[in-house]
Structure 1
Amino acid sequence: MNRIVSSLSALILTANCYALSTADRKSPDWDFNNPELGKEWSRLGNTSREDYSLTERGGFLRIKSGGDTLQSSVLSSLVGRPQEHRDFQSSTRFEVSDGATAGMTVYLAASSRYDLCVSDGRIHLRHRVGENSGDKELEAVPTGFIEVKVKGTPEEYKFYYSVDGVKFKEAGCFSASELGGIKPNAYIGLFSEGKGYADFDFFKYREVIPEGSPKLISGNGNPLLDFQFTADPTAVEHEGRLYVYATNDHQQFEEVGRDGKNTYERIKSLVMMSTDDMVNWTYHGNIDVGNVAPWIMASWAPSIVKRKEEDGKTHFYLYFSNSGFGTGVLTATSPVGPWTSPLDKSLVDANTSGLGKCKVPFDPGAVIDPDGTGWLTIGAGNSCIMRLGADMISIDSELKELKAPHHFEANELNYINGTYVYTYNTDWKDRGDWNVGEEVPSICSMSYMTSKTPLDPDSWKYHHHYLKNPGDYGFDYSNNHTHLHKYQGKWYLFYHTMSLHNSFNTDGGFRNVCVDEIDVDEDNLDIPMGDQTLKGPSQIKMLNPFALQQAETTAATKDVRFVSGDTSGNMVATTVGDEALIMVRGVLFSKRPRQYFAKASGKGVIEVRQGGATGNLIATVEVNSSQNKFHKVKLTGVVGNSPCDLCFILKGNDITFDAWQFK
């Protein structure tokens, strides 16, 4: 049995975990924004309700020290959550007041515990098991917040710490058997000893599960790509295909690793993908913005428009955030590049005159109206709109304020039924001052406004929110960013969640683009409340196996890696180890195929199976060529005439797969 097939049981577990995680809405208690702890928390030892507070410092759990020490027979300032899994990871971020010793503990009893804590400005790794105890001083840490985490397996507990929340150092590990092994009554606790108190910013706990795509077994359509973190979507239609562009969160992930955090500063590229059926997505690779525009600080949150110009070519204008400092623009005459930077600086930045209250001119949203005029919105906290010049890379008006209540970021523009539609992300602040209409938008949700005269600030009408935060749909709470797009007669809402975290065993805040259908009442300019699902939209057309298909077109993958091909936007597939799998869905054989062609190089085997990784074997291609060429084989299995899934299993660590076709 091959490795891909033998791992399917683990993937089934993964799919079931995803189903469970979204069936029940997650408690937001991990960030301590509620006035009381959730039912999953326990007060341990002699801890009373008076020993901690969720209101003395908003958004924090304050644990007040009770004078305990490592040798105390019982603790009076400890709250915790049960260790529910054999393999898990837990983390917290906290600040210690003078005189307190505080941190995270793996706790069975006062005389059976492992701690990572801060005391007198130094990080300590401590243990107490019966009469045996120890306190290892590691190093001095700066005043302020420190983040710690513990990873547990049946064999050991391993502790880490970070002073910047990005780079983690290993503090040390302890044997699980010495603590008594994995037991139902083990807790992951937060504590404070000595004098004073400690403020805990959040607590995260998750099971560590076998890495694999959440889409492979479940049949779900979200996220669009299961092998790469992406965020902040935008889209444009061209020649019947819908092209989607996104922030490349994966660049940050590869730089900082699974234990690092998505603080965005390492991201200097954007991701390209496309579809014509809303289920199978062709990965066109990354735009290396840092190379194309070496003057940037970072590249996030793209917004794309296109128009046909006097040279007869369609020109694409891709606006993006140059970190939080400004907004840049790239151009191309193909939706997949090559891309160039027409300017040697941002189109607009913090030094641009006329910004007014818009002090953070990033997160662009662009649209071209039926008159051919381009418009651009930018801003965080406060936003503004401007008319673009005829060249689309200059400003041709004053910058006018958009009076968007509780504005945060994520600007985008649409033009619907003769009206400009502006969408944005509301902030995380309390809504006690809300005075615009009866409906109060939920925290960090998406809202919209409309106008027929965009440069008149008073003409913009606020409507309501149309998408809640991912946390309100059962995913992790995160920032929010959407793009509305009408494609093939249907409206779709693109957004991001963090549902790929488990697939990469990280909790660093790396996001992934998703899509769902949404009903838009164009006549009345009403955008009803949308949904966020793992299932995603239905397939709008069948995949034609008799047309040339790219190997980088996927509905789900496992252990596959894509590298640049010989032309812009073309990628080739290869294996991460010695096997990989690519699945496409909704394949319809309108006639009986007799031959299969695979464009490939290197040395290895490509198996083609119908229905899944263990399905009917219909073709086997032996590849042994230094040239990227087509290999032809006769079919060895019978193919039905009903829509089906196809799996391409790549075997060998020196094989590349470029394209395929049945004849």
Structure 2
Amino acid sequence: MIKKLSVFILAVTLLLSCLPMMSVHAANNAIAKLPGNSNPLIDHKLGADPYALVYNGRVYIYMSSDAYVYNSDGTVKDNDFSALNKINVISSADMVNWTDHGAIPVAGYNNANNGTGIAKWASLSWAPSVAHKNINGKDKFFLYFANGASGIGVLTADTPIGPWKDPLGKALVTQSTAGMSGVTWLFDPAALVDDDGTGYLYVGGGIPNTSDPASIANPKTARVLKLGTDMTSIVGSAVTIDAPYMFEDSGIHKYNGKYYYSYCINFSGTHPSSYPAGEIGYMVSNSPMGPFTYKGHFLKNPSTFFGVGGNNHHAVFNFNNQWYVVYHAQTVSKAVLGAGKGYRSPHINKLVHNADGTIQEVQGNMAGISQLANLNPYNRTEAETIGWNAGITTEVSQATGGPTNNLDVTNIHNGDWIAVGNADFGSGGAKTFKANVASNVGGKIEIRLDSATGALVGTLDVSSTGGTQTWKEVETTVSNATGVHKVFLVFTGTGTKNLFNIDYWQFTPNTAGATRVEAENMTLGGTYAGKISSPFNGVALYANNDYSAYTQYFANSTHSISVRGASNNSGTARVDLQIGGTTVGSFYFTGTTPTVQTLSNINHPTGNQEVKLIVTTDNGTWDAYVDYLEIN
């Protein structure tokens, strides 16, 4: 979101920041995502046409780069989509705290994105879709995007957040691609990688002749194409999907062996009640290339839920054995401008398949999804990992040691704040808090629990570091931070300039001994992995590569690690411990009585590493129950 918007939003609070060190009761207000709610996913920037990718225990959301466009007099005009030449990316492990990964500068034609655009032939990047496939033993990621309504391009990367490259140097799908004749709008891609590794791409939309009522009911402008094994080529000819009243927004997911093609029903003409205008309809097939049969609709237009409508764009995904739909609504722009003006923001709500395979109507709301797992405050947390915020923005950071496309939190003024949900300090509590900061001005960070005016457990003094990208780690003591709490970092200072920037923050525990992570708070993966309440509150991992995982920051390279677990039978269950993708040892649990097993003096990489407990074989071993993991 450009700086001009930040000034617009914060006009009143910047005037207040001229006063000497305000009390915490002057903390500024969130824009649209209120503490305790999970929708919209973010409100410090916009994002439209969201698409979800689940990978390695995280949900990644890719979005068209909606950003406010201004009239010559400085007022915000209706969205003309001219800013949609990038793809915004966020991710989360818990569906509340979202890490901002910045924008992918996709379009590069005519010096778009100030010459940094990746696809030099493309002038726009609308409605992304992302797929993951293991090719020759290596994970690969494919970002499909629309160059306006004229064609589909593809970028590739080795991680979900890049860096990205253009493997073709041209569009993947155009009007001249076999089978694409008759498609009015060649946009809105949706990718599917089937169980056998074959990729498919669903595209299209529009009404071929608005003066012909028959073309409204059966526009026949949706297509499915089979992708080559490289995911960057087309095999054969596109096949028409006869989607009734199809307008735009192709979606695809697979459930119980059936293929669900979903799309936005058009707004034109007179509709039968089974095809409600502007809602998401869906069709089902036994084959990824059809034919598909219309079954109903499951997501009303955003106007039904939020009082402001516009187009309807969605993607269905499964995370930790629960189905969801991500969609956009003009909730942030309505809060900022008083009217949506066509600017959109991402939301997620649950989606439920009935026993007969039909889909229940989704209930859109601001509450969203409850936090799925507690955040570990003793791990390094990127400051741009945000549950809720007031006043701030994010920017590209020059700080080292962060993720690809590292960002920092900036535009910080007196009374602004950032917060995360459900951080688990444990019974021993936190001893210190540190943050990596850069500043020409300085100020303070008040560390508060549960709200911006909640219990003050520590205050960090931030002095000038000599520059807004000159980074220094500073630390302070904290007290009375135990148990599970929201954590609010409230910023105070004087003057009208940006007080400081923040790269990351981290607590240290009081106890020099063990850090315990409950298995039920980890990310689960595999076909049958699930939570249990007996013989303890934990997880069941079945002997077919089911796993539980989380990310741990290691300052040192040697630790002793213990796991409490049991077998689900009288036999012995083997649970492998992986750190950073390498197996460093195995735990063996015999019988159903829980025991604690320990691996001593394990050597492993430092920094942020994925810690995974995985049942890797069904070769005569038994399924395992896991209670917790403890690091000493």
Category of TM-score, reference length = shorter chain: 0.5 to 0.7
Equivalent AA in structure 2 for residue 661 of structure 1: Q
Looking at structure 1, the residues matched to 75 and 419 of structure 2 have their Cα atoms a distance apart, in angstroms, of 26
Deviation at residue 222 of structure 1 after TM alignment: 0.9
* Equivalent residue runs for 1:584-595 within 5 Å: 584-590=420-426, 591-595=428-432
Out of 128, 146, 152, the residue aligned to residue 302 of structure 1 is: 128
Equivalent AA in structure 1 for residue 423 of structure 2: V
Looking at structure 2, the residues matched to 263 and 351 of structure 1 have their Cα atoms a distance apart, in angstroms, of 28
**1:646 and 2:488 are equivalent in the alignment:** yes
Please say if residues 306 and 365 of structure 2, whose CA atoms lie closer than 8 Å, have aligned partners that are also in contact: no
Q: 1:623-658, CA deviations, whole angstroms, 9 ceiling, x for partnerless residues?
A: 2324423212111x4224243343342646241101
**1:509 and 2:342 are equivalent in the alignment:** yes
Cα gap change, 1:445 to 1:253, in 2 (>3 Å): farther
Show structure 1 runs of 4+ deviating over 4 A. Answer: 1-8, 251-258, 576-579
**1:573 and 2:409 are equivalent in the alignment:** yes
Cα gap change, 1:345 to 1:256, in 2 (>3 Å): farther
Deviation at residue 265 of structure 1 after TM alignment: 2.5
> 1:370 corresponds to which residue?
195
* Equivalent residue runs for 1:349-428 within 5 Å: 349-381=174-206, 382-428=221-267
Deviation at residue 557 of structure 1 after TM alignment: 1.1
Please say if residues 258 and 506 of structure 1, whose CA atoms lie closer than 8 Å, have aligned partners that are also in contact: no
Cα gap change, 1:374 to 1:254, in 2 (>3 Å): farther
Please say if residues 466 and 527 of structure 1, whose CA atoms lie closer than 8 Å, have aligned partners that are also in contact: yes
Deviation at residue 273 of structure 1 after TM alignment: 0.4
RMSD of the alignment, in Å?
2.2
Please say if residues 31 and 336 of structure 2, whose CA atoms lie closer than 8 Å, have aligned partners that are also in contact: no
Deviation at residue 267 of structure 1 after TM alignment: 1.5
Looking at structure 2, the residues matched to 254 and 547 of structure 1 have their Cα atoms a distance apart, in angstroms, of 45
Deviation at residue 338 of structure 1 after TM alignment: 0.9
> 1:659 corresponds to which residue?
504
Deviation at residue 351 of structure 1 after TM alignment: 3.5
> 1:245 corresponds to which residue?
62
Equivalent AA in structure 2 for residue 245 of structure 1: Y
Please say if residues 608 and 649 of structure 1, whose CA atoms lie closer than 8 Å, have aligned partners that are also in contact: no
Looking at structure 2, the residues matched to 256 and 541 of structure 1 have their Cα atoms a distance apart, in angstroms, of 46
Gaps of 5+ in 2: 1-19, 108-116, 207-220, 509-632
Looking at structure 1, the residues matched to 21 and 365 of structure 2 have their Cα atoms a distance apart, in angstroms, of 32
Please say if residues 450 and 485 of structure 2, whose CA atoms lie closer than 8 Å, have aligned partners that are also in contact: no
Deviation at residue 4 of structure 1 after TM alignment: 8.6
Out of 274, 281, 289, the residue aligned to residue 106 of structure 2 is: 289
> 2:477 corresponds to which residue?
634
**1:536 and 2:368 are equivalent in the alignment:** yes
**1:600 and 2:437 are equivalent in the alignment:** yes
* Equivalent residue runs for 1:437-516 within 5 Å: 440-456=274-290, 459-505=291-337, 507=339, 508-516=341-349
Equivalent AA in structure 1 for residue 32 of structure 2: P
Looking at structure 2, the residues matched to 295 and 351 of structure 1 have their Cα atoms a distance apart, in angstroms, of 17
Equivalent AA in structure 1 for residue 222 of structure 2: S
Looking at structure 2, the residues matched to 251 and 474 of structure 1 have their Cα atoms a distance apart, in angstroms, of 20
Cα gap change, 1:302 to 1:559, in 2 (>3 Å): same
Please say if residues 33 and 39 of structure 2, whose CA atoms lie closer than 8 Å, have aligned partners that are also in contact: yes
> 2:50 corresponds to which residue?
233
Deviation at residue 214 of structure 1 after TM alignment: 2.3
* Equivalent residue runs for 1:614-625 within 5 Å: 614-624=453-463, 625=465
Q: Output the TM-score relative to the length of structure 1.
A: 0.65
Deviation at residue 213 of structure 1 after TM alignment: 1.4
Deviation at residue 584 of structure 1 after TM alignment: 1.0
Please say if residues 350 and 360 of structure 1, whose CA atoms lie closer than 8 Å, have aligned partners that are also in contact: no
Out of 29, 33, 54, the residue aligned to residue 215 of structure 1 is: 33
Deviation at residue 294 of structure 1 after TM alignment: 2.4
Deviation at residue 327 of structure 1 after TM alignment: 1.0
Looking at structure 2, the residues matched to 429 and 661 of structure 1 have their Cα atoms a distance apart, in angstroms, of 53
Equivalent AA in structure 2 for residue 214 of structure 1: A
Equivalent AA in structure 2 for residue 644 of structure 1: K
Cα gap change, 1:281 to 1:483, in 2 (>3 Å): same
Cα gap change, 1:299 to 1:412, in 2 (>3 Å): same
Please say if residues 45 and 393 of structure 2, whose CA atoms lie closer than 8 Å, have aligned partners that are also in contact: no
Please say if residues 33 and 41 of structure 2, whose CA atoms lie closer than 8 Å, have aligned partners that are also in contact: no
Looking at structure 2, the residues matched to 534 and 580 of structure 1 have their Cα atoms a distance apart, in angstroms, of 22
Looking at structure 2, the residues matched to 658 and 389 of structure 1 have their Cα atoms a distance apart, in angstroms, of 41
Looking at structure 2, the residues matched to 658 and 428 of structure 1 have their Cα atoms a distance apart, in angstroms, of 45
Deviation at residue 412 of structure 1 after TM alignment: 1.4
Looking at structure 1, the residues matched to 150 and 23 of structure 2 have their Cα atoms a distance apart, in angstroms, of 45
Q: 1:8-60, CA deviations, whole angstroms, 9 ceiling, x for partnerless residues?
A: 5x84xxxxxxxxxxxxxxxxxxxxxxxxxxxxxxxxxxxxxxxxxxxxxxxxx
> 2:79 corresponds to which residue?
262
Equivalent AA in structure 1 for residue 33 of structure 2: K
Cα gap change, 1:275 to 1:409, in 2 (>3 Å): same
Please say if residues 611 and 647 of structure 1, whose CA atoms lie closer than 8 Å, have aligned partners that are also in contact: no
Deviation at residue 451 of structure 1 after TM alignment: 1.3
Please say if residues 258 and 505 of structure 1, whose CA atoms lie closer than 8 Å, have aligned partners that are also in contact: no
Residue identity over aligned pairs, in percent, reads 31
Deviation at residue 253 of structure 1 after TM alignment: 6.7
Cα gap change, 1:257 to 1:452, in 2 (>3 Å): farther
**1:317 and 2:157 are equivalent in the alignment:** no
Looking at structure 2, the residues matched to 336 and 254 of structure 1 have their Cα atoms a distance apart, in angstroms, of 33
> 1:331 corresponds to which residue?
156
Please say if residues 133 and 140 of structure 2, whose CA atoms lie closer than 8 Å, have aligned partners that are also in contact: yes
Gaps of 5+ in 1: 12-211
Cα gap change, 1:463 to 1:278, in 2 (>3 Å): same
Looking at structure 2, the residues matched to 405 and 256 of structure 1 have their Cα atoms a distance apart, in angstroms, of 44
Q: Output the TM-score relative to the length of structure 2.
A: 0.68
Deviation at residue 577 of structure 1 after TM alignment: 4.3
Please say if residues 587 and 646 of structure 1, whose CA atoms lie closer than 8 Å, have aligned partners that are also in contact: no
Task: Describe the SS at the equivalent of 2:430.
Answer: coil
> 2:113 corresponds to which residue?
none
Looking at structure 1, the residues matched to 492 and 326 of structure 2 have their Cα atoms a distance apart, in angstroms, of 31
Deviation at residue 258 of structure 1 after TM alignment: 4.7
Q: 1:285-340, CA deviations, whole angstroms, 9 ceiling, x for partnerless residues?
A: 11111211122121111111101221x43111011111111111111111111111
Count of residue correspondences: 451
Looking at structure 2, the residues matched to 364 and 401 of structure 1 have their Cα atoms a distance apart, in angstroms, of 14
Cα gap change, 1:661 to 1:505, in 2 (>3 Å): same
* Deviation larger for 327-336 or 352-361: 352-361
Please say if residues 575 and 650 of structure 1, whose CA atoms lie closer than 8 Å, have aligned partners that are also in contact: no
Looking at structure 1, the residues matched to 73 and 253 of structure 2 have their Cα atoms a distance apart, in angstroms, of 36
Deviation at residue 346 of structure 1 after TM alignment: 1.4
Q: 1:347-391, CA deviations, whole angstroms, 9 ceiling, x for partnerless residues?
A: 112343421321321100111000100000111121111101111
Please say if residues 4 and 613 of structure 1, whose CA atoms lie closer than 8 Å, have aligned partners that are also in contact: no
Task: Describe the SS at the equivalent of 1:472.
Answer: helix
Looking at structure 1, the residues matched to 75 and 489 of structure 2 have their Cα atoms a distance apart, in angstroms, of 28
> 2:94 corresponds to which residue?
277
Looking at structure 2, the residues matched to 332 and 222 of structure 1 have their Cα atoms a distance apart, in angstroms, of 29
**1:430 and 2:430 are equivalent in the alignment:** no
